[in-house]
Amino acid sequence: MLSLNEIERAVDDLTRDEKRELHRYLEDALQRQPPERSAGGGHSVLQIPAVHVGAVLRLASADDDLLGEMLEGRK
């Protein structure tokens, strides 16, 4: 197995086009790789991709009963 220094020296010797192709290859390889799991078998909230769900309609205040709203309609 090559050391990091050997890999860096090899990359330095590549042409600009070869470096671009290597970059594309590494990006594709990272996309195909499954997300890393923590030692406990779960995952971190930081590994969950961000999602935009829209604008905030109203800021929550101390008077809001968020739990009650979430449970409305449940038996």
Per-residue pLDDT of the chain (75 residues; tens, 9 = 90+): 889 999 999 999 999 999 999 999 999 988 887 766 656 667 778 888 888 888 888 888 878 887 888 888 776
- What pLDDT is attached to residue 35? 67
38: left (phi over 0), alpha (psi -120 to 50) or beta: beta
Look at residue 36 in the predicted model and tell me its pLDDT. Answer: 67
Locate 28 and state its tokens.
């594709």
* Count of domains for the chain: 1
At 53 the pLDDT is: 86
What is residue 75's predicted lDDT score, i.e. its pLDDT?
A: 66
Question: Does 26 reside within a domain?
Answer: yes
Integer angstrom CA distances of residue 66 from 7, 57, 61, 62, 71: 54, 14, 10, 10, 9
Residue type, 33: Q
Residue 2 structural domain: 1-34
Residue 9 domain flag: yes
CA angle, 41 then 43 then 45, to 5°: 160
Q: Give the per-residue pLDDT at 52.
A: 85
